[in-house]
Amino acid sequence: MLLNETVNAQIIALAEKINTNSGVGFKMSDIKNKKIGIIGLGYVGLPLAVEFGKQYETVGFDINAERIQELCSGKDSTLEVTHEELKQATKIHYTNDLEETRSCSIYIVTVPTPVDKAKIPDLTPLIKASEAVGTVLSAGDIVIYESTVYPGATEEVCIPILEQQSGLTFNKDFFAGYSPERINPGDKEHRVTNILKVTSGSTPETAETVDALYKSIITAGTHLASSIRVAEAAKVIENTQRDVNIALINELSLIFDLLGIDTLEVLEAAGTKWNFLPFRPGLVGGHCIGVDPYYLTYKAQEVGYHPQVILSGRHINDGMGAYVASQVIKMMTQHRIHVVDANILVMGLTFKENCPDLRNTRVVDIINEFASYHANIDVYDPWVDTAEAEIEYGIAPISEPELGHYDAIVLAVGHDQFLSLGVEGIRKLGAENHILYDVKSLLPKESVDGRL
């Protein structure tokens, strides 16, 4: 009997040791008592911080002091969160002082992950955020990443930085998770709470904790992936799939133009089949679709595989801005309008309609192509912050276009303000002899000179 008691005691001790070394620093039932730190308060971080701030003690951190000041005043310049929604997050504190996050037990990193001019992933924001979190990390904490990365980046790039900065050991002293963001800027229907969330963790216990945390605010539910790498891969292919599909339609548009066939009419006819996918030609920009494929192809090439379909799609989509400009220039020439010193109006600069997001907008490709012909270009976009446009692209949008002034007008973004003008209102901006090109194919075919 004594022997059995000894064996039982050893088994219990071993189980406790296993749980201590492989679990998280706190139980799922303790989540409500833990403070959450959101690192980065942009299009992704702020909506997330607001939702957590309704239920949990939350610290919203951003290095931009002006951003913190506007949020404290109840304003969101990204227009993703309303004044009323900001007021509902009664448990949140905004700061640009990293030390104020030290009391947090869960850190969620939501910084951007762009590509550089050579289309190589730029992990600088992610690295700097990891360095910052590492300096305030404590034993038992969990760090969750939401930024889009290639499979393996969290554990290969971020975790070593956290270990180095904190002096703690991964999966012993602190733990990690990955839950890719699915924010769609400007979309008031698909919000953070009603978009199903993929979750993952560095240990089974951590994964369960991360999943439970998100499940507490995501009404649409969660999908628990088997590993961080699977969750990373899932995110990066979501937009890669869309990119490739749009590239196909863009290539078809190029072909149909040479054949003298209207692309939209073809797509409408093909769309009568029940399983035809309703993609449309256009510019592919923004923080996701035009960027994420390069993260996947970068990693693929690193392991010795050269992607063909994905990179071909990217090549086609990256060239659509120049193609639009060339089409407009061709039409101007046909109408005996001199391109050099011509007055051209580009309507819209954001990467999509009805939002102020300028990240990776491909409208700049149209503008740059016109500029190479020494045309005079006015860019009009009532959604854009003028200072931001000048800083990001060296473009100073005008406050209002001049009536009867333009030799060519390009409707590049489908803002409601532009559509409310109608064809007649837009045409009034043009000179007596001018070209109207509809990139988004929003206006009636017979009312424009060209469209994708």
Task: Say if residues 400 and 365 touch (Cβ distance below 8 Å).
Answer: no
C-beta separation of 358 from 389 below 8 A: yes
Using DSSP's 3-state secondary structure scheme, residue 62 falls into coil
Burial readout 184-198 (b: 16 or more C-beta within 10 A, e: otherwise): bbbeeeebbeebebb
DSSP assignment of 262-283, as one string? -HHHHHHHHTTSTT--------
Q: What's the N-to-C CA distance of the chain in angstroms?
A: 84
Is 288 marked active-site?
yes
Alpha carbon distance 381, 119 (integer Å): 27
Asked if residues 35 and 59 have their Cβ atoms less than 8 Å apart, the reply is yes
**What residues form DSSP beta bridges with 430?**
406
Contact 34, 142 (CB under 8 A): no
H or E stretch covering 328: helix 320-334
Q: How far is residue 138's CA from residue 26's CA, in Å, rounded to a whole number?
A: 13
DSSP 357-414: --TT-THHHHHHHHHTTT-EEEEE-TTS-HHHHHHHHS---BSSPPTT-EEEEEE-S-
Q: In this structure, are residues 71 and 80 in contact, taking their beta carbons and an 8 Å threshold?
A: no
Cα 440 to the chain's mean position, in Å? Answer: 21
Cα–Cα dist 167/141, whole Å: 13
Torsion of CA 343, 345, 350, 353, to 10 degrees: -170
Active-site residue, from 72, 104, 158, 288? 288
Q: Which residues are catalytic?
A: 288
